[in-house]
Amino acid sequence: MRDGKVEGSIKNLNEQFMLLIQLFWTFFRIGPSTFGGGYAMLPIIEREVVHKKKWMQEDEIGELISLAGSAPGGVGVNAAAMIGHRQAGIMGAVSAVIGVTCPTFLIVILISVFAILFRNQPKVEAALNGMNGGIIALISMAAYRTARYSILDTTTAIAAIVTVAVLLFAGIHPLYLIISGLICGMAVIRIKNRLGLQVKMEKKSGTGSYPELEYYI
């Protein structure tokens, strides 16, 4: 693994600056190319970063993606940050993230300006109501796909069901559920190991190098 920071100090400032611009521009172009974000970006990131720019090896990117998927935040933004950091340290991470965010930010602003302009048109209202149905379908699909790699055994199934029940009936802040999920995970694994039970902690995806999530996350 190359160290971006050490390399950066050897390079002269001009080269360093050009690298930052390159990182920004590469991710600026990747940003808007995918709808639904995240995992749809990954093949494009791989093509750009591994094959065109040769910033990384092909086997490195799989590990990078699994880590990007586990950290908080969208996987696209996380992958950009990691690649940027590898190439040019913290400044590299910042410019890659700004690059990947800028185009969508501008598009969203444009959409909201139009939405506010046409808000009281009955047809627009009707279309938005219809899209609500579409969103329900997209979210259900995301739930189904996430469940396939997160529900590994009875314990995880119960955890998911309890989460839904608590959210529906108790109205507590979801943050507490996330924290208890983290703690319970560690506790359950320790207890099961103590009892000598085998626990499968990850599902290996059979097809390709990406988890089968595609563009729903």
Nearer to another protein, 21 or 67 (CB): 67
Among 108, 117, 118, 197, binds another protein (CB under 8 A): 108
Separation CA 187–CA 204 (nearest Å):
23
Of residues 74 through 103, those in contact with another protein by CB under 8 A are 74-78, 81-82, 85-86, 90, 93-94, 97, 100-101, 103
156 binds another protein (CB under 8 A): yes
Question: How many residues of this chain interact with another protein, rule: CB under 8 A?
Answer: 98
Q: How far is the CB of 14 from another protein (least distance, A)?
A: 24
Of residues 5 through 24, those in contact with another protein by CB under 8 A are none
Separation CA 214–CA 211 (nearest Å):
8
Nearer to another protein, 9 or 73 (CB): 73
Nearer to another protein, 16 or 80 (CB): 80
Q: What angle do CA 142, 145, 149 make, to 5 degrees?
A: 135
Q: How far is the CB of 209 from another protein (least distance, A)?
A: 16
- Residue of 189, 185, 187, 206 whose CA lies nearest to 198: 189
Provide DSSP, 105-168: HHHHHHHHHHHHHTTT-HHHHHHHHHHHHHHHHHHHHHHHHHHHHH--SHHHHHHHHHHHHHHH
205 binds another protein (CB under 8 A): no
Of residues 53 through 72, those in contact with another protein by CB under 8 A are 63, 67-68, 70-72
Q: How far is the CB of 1 from another protein (least distance, A)?
A: 7
- Residue of 162, 166, 26 whose CA lies nearest to 96: 26
Q: How far is the CB of 15 from another protein (least distance, A)?
A: 22
Nearer to another protein, 14 or 140 (CB): 140
Q: How far is CA 180 from the centre of its chain?
A: 22
Using only the alpha carbons of the chain, give its radius of gyration. 21
